[in-house]
Structure 1
Amino acid sequence: MAAAAFLGLGVMGFPMAGHLAKAGHQMTVFNRSPAKAQAWSERHGGRHAATPREAAEGAEFVMACVGNDDDLRQICLGPDGAFAGMSKGAVFVDHTTVSAEVTRELAQIAHEAGLGYVDAPVSGGQAGAENGQLSIMCGGDAADFDRAAQVIGVYAKICRRMGAVGAGQLTKMCNQIAIAGLVQALSESLAFARKSGLDTAAVVEVISQGAAGSWQMVNRHATMAEGHFEHGFAVDWMRKDLAICLAAADEVGALLPVTALVDQFYKDVQLMGGGRWDTSALIARLVD
C-alpha cells in the first residue's frame, strides 16, 4: 500500500480517490472547495489538506483530476503547488483531459525536479468512476507508468501505456473525436425514427444488436428519447475537449470536418441553455 494524494474531487475525482482509500492506500486529498475535501474525508477517512503542496508532502503518488490547462498549472506550480511538496522519485499522475502541450510542459518541469510524470486521462464518465471501470490511456516513461499502474488500477477497467509523455492525451482526443460523431449520428437516428412514427425503443432494441450498436446507444437512447439530460458529461466540458482536439489537428495536419461541425452543434446546445446538460443533448437540436 502506498501513501497517495488526490487533487480535485469533482464527479470523477471524488469516487476515484474513494477507490484508492478502499484499497488501503494512505490518502490525503485536496479540493479548491474545502467543504468537499472535508466531506470526502468524513466518508472515506484519510486526511484533507489546505494546499496541493501540503497534500503532496510524503506521497509516493499524486493524482490530479481538475478542469483544464490553467487549473492543472495552478495545482502543480508555485510555492503552494504539488511539485513543491513532492519528494524526488514520487510520481505525478494527471487524469485531467488537457492539451498535450501543457502535459509536456509540466512533465519537463517535473523531470527537472526529479519527479515522475504520467498523463492518464480517463474515459467512462461518472458511472465508470463510481464503479471503478474507467478506461485509462497513459503517456510517460515506462518505469513511471509501471509503478503508477499498480495503484491506479483500482479504478480501471483497462489501463494502458500509449507511448511517451503526451500520448495519453492524444489518445483521449481520439476518444472524444469518436464520441462526438457517434452521439450526433445517434441523435439523428433517434430523431428520424420519432418523426417517422416508429417506436424508438423497439428500433434501438433491433439495431443495437447489429453493426450500429455502441455504448452511447445502449446507455443513452432512453434518456435522449425522454429529453432528460441532467446527468453525465457536460456539454461545456465536451466543447473544451473538442477545442483541444481541433487545435491539435491543426498542429499535426489532420482533418476533422465532422468534429468541427459537431462542435458547432454543441455551441447551439449551449445557446439553448444546455451547457451543463449531458453530451447526448445533441438530439435537443433535432426534435420539437
Structure 2
Amino acid sequence: MAKVAFIGLGVMGYPMAGHLKTKGGHDVTVYNRTFSKAEAWVAAFGGKAGKTPAEAARDADFVFTCVGNDDDLRSVTIGEDGVIAALKPGAVLIDNTTASAEVARELDEAARAKGCAFIDAPVSGGQAGAENGVLTVMCGAEEAVFEKARPVIDAYARMVGLMGPVGSGQLAKMVNQICIAGLVQGLAEGIHFGKQAGLDIEKLVEVISKGAAGSWQMENRHKTMNQGKYDFGFAVDWMRKDLGIVLSEARRNGAKLPVTALVDQFYGDVQQMGGRRWDTSSLLARLEKK
C-alpha cells in the first residue's frame, strides 16, 4: 500500500482515483477544484480530501494529476498551492492529462529540483475505460521511475507501456489521436455512404467489422452513429484540444498531417452546429446536415 494523492476528479479522474483506493488498496487523498466533488468521492470510496493540491499531495509517495489542459496542469502543480511545492523527496508525480510534451518536460525539471521524479502518462480508453479500470497508459520516464510507479498505475489500467524519456508518453498519445481522427472520419463516411446506397447498416457492419475494416470505433460506435445519438464518449471540444496539441507539435517536428488537419476543421464544423459536447463520432452529423 502506498500513500497516494489524486488531483482532478473529472469524468476520468473520479473513477481512476476510485480504482487506486478499491483495487489498489492505497491510502488516497483527493483534490478537486469544486470541493463538493471531492467530498462526494470520499463519501463513495473513503480516503480523504484536501482543500488545495498541495494539501492533498503532502507526504504522498505518488501524486497523480488528471486535469484539462497545459494551463490547468501548471495551475495545480507549479501554481500557488500547487503539488510540487509539497512533494517530499523521492515522491513521483504522474500526470494523466493529455497535454503537450513541452509542459511534461517543464514538470520533470521542477520535480527534479525537489529531489522527485516525473512521469507523463496520458491515457486512452475513454470514460468507459476509466470506469472499468482498463485504460491504456502511455508513459514517458526513466525506466527505474517507471518500474517503481507501474504497480500503482496498474490499478486503473489494462496496458501500461514505457514509450521513452519524459515527453514520450504525450507524443505517443498524439499518435493515438491522429489514428482515431482519421479512422472516425472514415467510419462516418462509410456509414453515410451505406445509408445513401440503401444498405442495412447493422447487417453491413456485422459483416465488414469481421474483416480488415474492423475497429474498436466500428464495434462500439456504429449503432449510436446510425441512430444519430452522440452522447457516448469523448467530447468534440476535448478532441479539438488534443488535435491542436498534435498540429502544434507537427509544426515543430516537420510531420505532414493533412488528414488530421482536415478532420480538425471538420470537428470545428460540428462545434458550429452546436455539437461541442457531442462525442467524436458526431462527424457523421456533419455529413448528414441538410
* TM-score, normalisation: structure 1: 0.99
Which residue identity does 1:148 align to in structure 2? A
Deviation at 1:154, TM superposition (A): 1.0
Structure 2 match to 1:24: 25
Structure 2 match to 1:232: 233
- For residues 100 and 77 of structure 1, the distance between their equivalents in structure 2, rounded to whole angstroms, comes to 16
- For residues 47 and 179 of structure 2, the distance between their equivalents in structure 1, rounded to whole angstroms, comes to 38
Deviation at 1:142, TM superposition (A): 1.1
Deviation at 1:138, TM superposition (A): 0.2
Over residues 217-273 of structure 1, what are the superposed CA-to-partner deviations in whole Å (9 max), with x where a residue is unaligned? 000000001111112100000000000000111111100000000000000000000
Q: Secondary structure at the match of 2:230?
A: coil
Q: Secondary structure at the match of 1:158?
A: strand
Which residue identity does 1:111 align to in structure 2? R
- For residues 68 and 83 of structure 1, the distance between their equivalents in structure 2, rounded to whole angstroms, comes to 17
Q: Secondary structure at the match of 1:286?
A: helix
- For residues 187 and 56 of structure 1, the distance between their equivalents in structure 2, rounded to whole angstroms, comes to 44
Which residue identity does 1:241 align to in structure 2? D
Mapped pair 1:47 → 2:48: yes
Deviation at 1:34, TM superposition (A): 0.5
- For residues 220 and 15 of structure 1, the distance between their equivalents in structure 2, rounded to whole angstroms, comes to 22
Structure 2 match to 1:253: 254
- For residues 80 and 100 of structure 2, the distance between their equivalents in structure 1, rounded to whole angstroms, comes to 24
Which residue identity does 1:284 align to in structure 2? A
Q: Secondary structure at the match of 2:161?
A: strand
- For residues 2 and 79 of structure 1, the distance between their equivalents in structure 2, rounded to whole angstroms, comes to 26
Mapped pair 1:179 → 2:186: no
Over residues 125-144 of structure 1, what are the superposed CA-to-partner deviations in whole Å (9 max), with x where a residue is unaligned? 00000111100000011111
- For residues 134 and 259 of structure 2, the distance between their equivalents in structure 1, rounded to whole angstroms, comes to 29
Structure 2 match to 1:3: 3
Structure 1 match to 2:94: 93
**How do residues 1-288 of structure 1 correspond to structure 2 at under 5 angstroms?**
1-22=1-22, 23-288=24-289
Which residue identity does 2:285 align to in structure 1? A
Q: Secondary structure at the match of 1:6?
A: strand
Deviation at 1:76, TM superposition (A): 0.2
Identity of matched residues, %: 60
Q: Secondary structure at the match of 1:58?
A: coil
Q: Secondary structure at the match of 2:97?
A: coil
* Alpha-carbon contact 2:184-2:217 (below 8 Å) kept: yes
Over residues 160-204 of structure 1, what are the superposed CA-to-partner deviations in whole Å (9 max), with x where a residue is unaligned? 100000000000000000000000000000000001110001110
* Alpha-carbon contact 2:139-2:164 (below 8 Å) kept: yes
Please give the root-mean-square deviation of Cα atoms over the aligned residues, in Å.
0.7
Which residue identity does 1:242 align to in structure 2? L
Runs of 4+ displaced beyond 6 Å: none
- For residues 78 and 154 of structure 1, the distance between their equivalents in structure 2, rounded to whole angstroms, comes to 28
- For residues 79 and 31 of structure 1, the distance between their equivalents in structure 2, rounded to whole angstroms, comes to 15
- For residues 228 and 211 of structure 1, the distance between their equivalents in structure 2, rounded to whole angstroms, comes to 26
- For residues 106 and 7 of structure 1, the distance between their equivalents in structure 2, rounded to whole angstroms, comes to 15
Q: Secondary structure at the match of 2:288?
A: coil
Q: Secondary structure at the match of 1:127?
A: helix
Which residue identity does 2:4 align to in structure 1? A
- For residues 47 and 54 of structure 2, the distance between their equivalents in structure 1, rounded to whole angstroms, comes to 16
- For residues 199 and 152 of structure 2, the distance between their equivalents in structure 1, rounded to whole angstroms, comes to 48
Deviation at 1:78, TM superposition (A): 3.2
- For residues 64 and 143 of structure 1, the distance between their equivalents in structure 2, rounded to whole angstroms, comes to 20
* Alpha-carbon contact 2:138-2:163 (below 8 Å) kept: yes
* Alpha-carbon contact 2:87-2:114 (below 8 Å) kept: no
Which residue identity does 1:141 align to in structure 2? E
* Alpha-carbon contact 2:8-2:33 (below 8 Å) kept: yes
* TM-score, normalisation: structure 2: 0.98
Which residue identity does 1:98 align to in structure 2? A
Unmatched 5+ residue regions in structure 2? none
Which residue identity does 2:180 align to in structure 1? I
